[in-house]
Amino acid sequence: MSDLKAFSSADKKEQVCLLVCLFVCLLLFTVPSPPHLQYLDLVRSLPNYNTVTFPHCKCDARKVGHVIVTISRSSIRLKACSEEGVLEEQEHTFQWEMVAQHEPDLEDEAFTFQYTRESKPSRWVRVYSKYVSPSTSSRSSNKGQPPLTIVSKSI
């Protein structure tokens, strides 16, 4: 009862604010979120959400065979495969924090990136792909960040 007395003694603005807060709390905890938000939550929880995987291609890091390149907001992943695209066991993941710089080589149709490792010299990797575009260029100022656009050519 004392709560009701306190509520009735509050001025009109306070009463309206309290009622609005109570209403919002009730909505948040009782009304299910719309289906599209539930769908987005589900999709965002999938392991390969927001990643782009390219067809197998040559890479100078492999003497024989190709790689399948996957680029996400967190990393560049190279999966080893045969020249026909059959997956092999070897896989390397480079977190964007490890990538010192990345740039396209339009003449050779290659995407190159330099990565650093603890107590080892940095190394350049060159991936040859027809999907390289000028917009993949970056310098050290964007260290640790993925390129904004990887593919701009139509498939």
Domain shared by 86 and 131, yes or no: yes
Answer whether residue 113 shows pLDDT above 70.
yes
Each residue of 138-152: pLDDT tens digit? 444 455 555 544 443
Report residue 91's pLDDT band, with 50, 70 and 90 as the boundaries.
Answer: very high
3-state SS, one letter per residue, for the chain: CHHHHHHHHCCHHHHHHHHHHHHHHHHHHHCCCCHHHHHHHHHHCCCCCCEEECCCECECCCCCCEEEEEEECCEEEEEEECCCCCEEEEEEEEEHHHEEEEEEECCCCEEEEEEEECCEEEEEEEEECCCCCHHHCCCHHHCCCCCCCCCCCCC
Q: Is the pLDDT of residue 90 over 50?
A: yes
Q: Are residues 124 and 77 in the same domain?
A: yes
Alpha-carbon span 78 to 128, nearest angstrom = 12
The verdict on 37 and 82 lying in the same domain is: no
In this structure, the answer to whether residues 68 and 112 fall within a common structural domain is yes
Residues 70 and 131 in one domain: yes
Per residue in 52-83, pLDDT tens?
Answer: 999 999 999 999 999 999 999 899 999 999 99
Q: What is the mean pLDDT of residues 106-130?
A: 93
Q: Of 69 and 2, which is predicted with more confidence?
A: 69
Q: Is residue 30 part of a domain?
A: yes
Record the pTM.
Answer: 0.63
With 60 as the cut, is the pLDDT of residue 102 above it? yes
Give percent of the chain above pLDDT 90: 46
Largest CA distance in the chain: 82
Identify the domain containing residue 33 by its residue range. 2-44
